[in-house]
Amino acid sequence: MGLATKIGFHFHLAIAGLLFIALVITSINLICDKKSKFEATFNKDQTVSNDPSPGCNLFSGRWVYDNTSHPRYKDTKCSFMFEEYACEKYGRKDLKHQNWRWQPHHCDLPRFNGTALLEKMRGKKVVFVGDSLNKNLWTSMLCLIESSISPSSNKSLITDGNLLFFQDIEYNATIGFYWSPFLVESNNDDLILHRNELVVRIKAIETHARHWTDADMLIFDSFAWWAHAKRTLLWGSFNSSDAIYKTVETRYRPYEMSLNTWSDWLEFHIDRTRTKLFFMSLSPMHFWGEDWSTEQHCYNQTEPILKEGYWGIDTDKEMMRIAESALQNLENRGIKVEYLNITQLSDYRKDALTILYSESNIQGIHKDHSQNDNNNDGDEQRSISIPDGFVRNSTHAHYFNLSNKPLASLDKFTTCKSTVRYTGRRAASAVPRSEYGGQRAAAVEEGCDLFSGKWVFDNTSYPLYNESACPFMSDQLACHKHGRPDFGYQFWRWQPKNCNLKRWNAAEIWEKLRGKRLMFVGDSLNRGQWISILCLLQSAIPRDKQSITPNAELTIFRAENYNATLEFLWAPLLVESNSDDPVDHRLNERIMHPDAILRHSSKWEHADILVFNSYLWWRQGPVKLLWSDEENNACEEISGIGGMELAMESWANWVASNVDPLKKKVFFVTMSPTHQLKEEWESGSEGNCYNEKLPIHNERYWGSGSDLPTMRMVEKVLNRLGSKVSVLNITQLSEYRKDGHPTIYRKFWEPLSPETLANPSTYSDCIHWCLPGVPDAWNELLFQFL
């Protein structure tokens, strides 16, 4: 590979090439204040206008040669210039790339005013978060500001690990850069030392985010490092023996997952009234000269591309679509992120990249700057910011040998190369059956069976909270919010025979939980019970002493004054499966590791109280088994109940091996019934639970929504565990509550057709439960055991 060809792989722009982007950010801050001389209106396309009329899109325009007002500064005069961007210092002779000004159609950019910007930033903190391209942008901002203020002003640049920050003492303003090339955590999170092998903790962001949580303005980017041909995804910690690694050759799904993790963090941690958010679009590369009718790439290019509408073949529009979708989803959740759509305007600038004119190239090549494509001494080239492997179709990077790692996790990419019928294999038990445990704790004390009784109408003491007063309510369960006209479902109290439930007392329960972790593990029904417990208990915690931290599969509510947590872990099959993504799990086939539970158990093993469930997902037809020692992705197919039995046995093995009932309380919640057939409680009728307003009062009622063979199988497994597990037998008491489901009164994540909307029974949710409602009673029963 020729010298100039390898040099062309650098993505960085000469600093003057990023002047426009800094001006856009500056302009937005200046003109948003009605008292400033620039008035602005913004629409969803990030357009800005100097007059009330629409039509000015800052990101649509052309480059105009202007050697009168541009450049705004000299790279040799900027005291904050980093060596990797200093083209003039390192020998670039033609400097025309500095003289081009971006001209939007139908409007003008305001002239940059560094002192006005600092005044707007007085007492504030701005942080650029991302890779070297965002560092490029941050450096541009510092050079622009320095060129506008007095040389004698009191300013400094401080390095603190991955965080670099400029401070202006007079204005008490901080403008920082934080190195985080994937946004989520990775093995390339050191600002200086980078590796060719890429390992990304796709669900972890807290280590980074704590450095910029308190910022008043955040500017993110993340594109360039995803361009590598492969990366390894990591679930768990880097040094954990239970960590799961999976190498994938696609960039799109991992990129989407990382943006989901980032989005979840923003939703729960950003002050929406204070912090301004920006996301910079993809900065294009210029590898292929045939794009602009030349055999060379960007080396020796001295003019922009002037043909409007040009898109380079290296510009990945699918990556842009994924980012734009993530930003739209955030807006739907009430978080506005301004999209700095710099891609096409930068696509025109084949002349503005650093190519070989930077310190990193000088040190790596030791050649005169005039050398061209015929030179082959580029193998010593060192890149400060982007791994050398970011070459189209490059596969030379070294990756971890995963043979001595725990098995790779299942995900939506996993497929079975072949499938045969189940052969009868079982997971090996680590514990002899004789050691499983003694008699299981029962819910019967002195003739009182907590799970046998009736529902009593009680509109005096119920509901125990108001739906609208619970900040953690799910739109899937908020029936009144979504139009349910009746409230009767909220007023029913469970009354056991021959005894009473202890009255709910949030303060007393928090005392029971002081210093403890209570974790729910399972599917969306268990998540509903977890949301119920949050709503039941959160009002006793002052708002400044409570927080919730989403971490995809594991979501944690913290009560600071009790040093206690209420947690939910998504694990619908208990063992590892391709449905373990809590959001994206609608797949054509269910694949599971029937003998693998470590990835989940590593998250729940230190909890003090565990509440498990698993049932609903086994009712969706056959599942495919992929045993952990299977090297060729050959699967076995088994019935839902058969798969559930194998999963329950693996779970029981873990419980038997790891649970000391004197130190850890474990509960298993029996199946939550469905109400799909109205004829079961009203003979001769059609339909389902839609429009039901009263419970069933026949104490012997048992519907088809509860599967007796499954219950017997679960009972058999639980009996072997004895006192290690207590059973919350909520099935029959919930069978009576045909009135308690959301039916049509919930948020549906996909649009419904007019034909479907015209027939409510066809899309009624008769599986989940409204809140306040039935799951509150499950939690009342749970706390009788505590």
Per residue in 400-430, pLDDT (tens digit) is: 222 233 455 677 778 888 999 988 877 665 4
Q: How many CA atoms lie within 13 A of 278 on its CB side?
A: 25
Q: What is the share, in percent, of the chain residues with pLDDT greater than 90?
A: 44
Q: Strands 276-280 and 337-340, how do they pair?
A: parallel
Identify which has the larger pLDDT, 274 or 29. Answer: 274
313 with 196, same domain: the answer is: yes
Number of structural domains found in the chain: 2
Task: Round to whole Å and give the CA distance between 777 and 466.
Answer: 15
Q: Give the three-state DSSP class for 726.
A: strand
In a domain, 651, yes or no: no
Tell me how many degrees the CA angle 76-79-82 measures, rounded to the nearest 5. 75
CB under 8 Å to 654, separation ≥6 — which residues? Answer: 597, 601
Domain final residue, candidates 327, 361, 390 = 390
226 with 132, same domain: the answer is: yes
In a domain, 496, yes or no: yes
Is the per-residue pLDDT at 362 higher than 80? no
Which residue(s) pair with 522 in the sheet?
570
End-to-end CA distance of the chain: 70
In a domain, 605, yes or no: no
Q: Give the per-residue pLDDT at 190.
A: 85
Is the per-residue pLDDT at 360 higher than 60? no
Task: Round to whole Å and give the CA distance between 541 and 511.
Answer: 12
Q: Give the per-residue pLDDT at 387.
A: 27
Enzyme catalytic residues: 524, 765, 768
| pLDDT average, residue stretch 550-571 | 90
Q: Strands 444-445 and 665-669, how do they pair?
A: unpaired
Confidence of residue 221 (pLDDT cuts 50, 70, 90): very high
Q: Give the per-residue pLDDT at 384.
A: 25
Q: Give the per-residue pLDDT at 428.
A: 60
144 with 269, same domain: the answer is: yes
CB atoms within 10 A of CB 754: 6
Confidence of residue 445 (pLDDT cuts 50, 70, 90): low
| pLDDT average, residue stretch 297-321 | 83
Q: Is the dihedral of CA 733, 573, 551, 219 positive or negative?
A: negative
Identify which has the larger pLDDT, 394 or 505. Answer: 505
266 with 361, same domain: the answer is: yes
CB atoms within 10 A of CB 67: 12
317 with 446, same domain: the answer is: no
Identify which has the larger pLDDT, 399 or 37. Answer: 37
Is the per-residue pLDDT at 665 higher than 90? yes
Q: Give the per-residue pLDDT at 165.
A: 85
| pLDDT average, residue stretch 350-360 | 66
Per residue in 61-95, pLDDT (tens digit) is: 999 998 888 888 787 788 878 777 777 777 777 78
286 with 356, same domain: the answer is: yes
- What's the one-letter identity of residue 558? R
Confidence of residue 12 (pLDDT cuts 50, 70, 90): low
Q: Give the three-state DSSP class for 773.
A: coil
For the ranges 49-53, 281-285, 534-538, 680-684, the lowest mean pLDDT is seen at: 49-53
Is the per-residue pLDDT at 513 higher than 60? yes
CB atoms within 10 A of CB 309: 8
462 with 361, same domain: the answer is: no
| pLDDT average, residue stretch 755-774 | 95
Confidence of residue 434 (pLDDT cuts 50, 70, 90): very low
367 with 450, same domain: the answer is: no
Q: How far is CA 229 from the centre of its chain?
A: 22
Q: Give the per-residue pLDDT at 404.
A: 32
Q: Give the per-residue pLDDT at 35.
A: 38
For the ranges 287-291, 656-660, 700-704, 726-730, the lowest mean pLDDT is seen at: 287-291
Confidence of residue 197 (pLDDT cuts 50, 70, 90): confident
Asked whether 184 and 200 are in contact (CB, 8 A), the reply is: yes
Q: Give the per-residue pLDDT at 85.
A: 73
For the ranges 207-211, 450-454, 457-461, the lowest mean pLDDT is seen at: 207-211
Per residue in 604-625, pLDDT (tens digit) is: 999 999 999 999 999 888 999 9
Identify which has the larger pLDDT, 19 or 5. Answer: 19
| pLDDT average, residue stretch 293-304 | 74
In a domain, 584, yes or no: no
Is the per-residue pLDDT at 693 higher than 70? yes
Average pLDDT, the chain: 81
Per residue in 123-141, pLDDT (tens digit) is: 999 999 999 889 988 888 8
Asked whether 653 and 427 are in contact (CB, 8 A), the reply is: yes
Tell me how many degrees the CA angle 421-422-423 measures, rounded to the nearest 5. 110
379 with 454, same domain: the answer is: no
Q: With helix as H, strand as E and coil as C, how does 685-718 read?
A: CCCCCCCCCCCCCCCCCCCCCCCHHHHHHHHHHH
Per residue in 138-165, pLDDT (tens digit) is: 888 888 888 888 777 788 888 777 888 8
Q: Give the three-state DSSP class for 247.
A: strand
Q: Does 406 sit behind a cis peptide bond, omega within 30 degrees of 0 on the bond before it? A: no
Is the per-residue pLDDT at 58 higher than 70? yes
In a domain, 37, yes or no: yes
Asked whether 128 and 217 are in contact (CB, 8 A), the reply is: no
Confidence of residue 491 (pLDDT cuts 50, 70, 90): very high
pTM of the model: 0.54
| pLDDT average, residue stretch 629-655 | 91
| pLDDT average, residue stretch 298-315 | 82
In a domain, 558, yes or no: no
Identify which has the larger pLDDT, 632 or 373. Answer: 632
Q: Give the per-residue pLDDT at 301.
A: 81
Is the per-residue pLDDT at 528 higher than 80? yes
Q: Does 463 sit behind a cis peptide bond, omega within 30 degrees of 0 on the bond before it? A: yes
In a domain, 642, yes or no: no
In a domain, 152, yes or no: yes
Is the per-residue pLDDT at 27 higher than 70? no
Asked whether 554 and 603 are in contact (CB, 8 A), the reply is: yes
Q: Give the per-residue pLDDT at 296.
A: 65
370 with 482, same domain: the answer is: no
Q: Give the per-residue pLDDT at 427.
A: 66
For the ranges 8-17, 344-353, 647-656, the lowest mean pLDDT is seen at: 8-17
173 with 280, same domain: the answer is: yes
Q: Give the per-residue pLDDT at 654.
A: 93
Q: Give the per-residue pLDDT at 437.
A: 54
Domain final residue, candidates 390, 405, 422 = 390
For residue 549, give the nearest of 562, 566, 563, 537 by alpha carbon.
566
Q: Give the per-residue pLDDT at 671.
A: 95
376 with 478, same domain: the answer is: no
Q: Which domain holds residue 457?
A: 441-547+671-701+717-784
- Helices and strands: H and E segment counts in the chain: 17, 28
Asked whether 225 and 198 are in contact (CB, 8 A), the reply is: yes
Q: How far is CA 568 from the centre of its chain?
A: 15
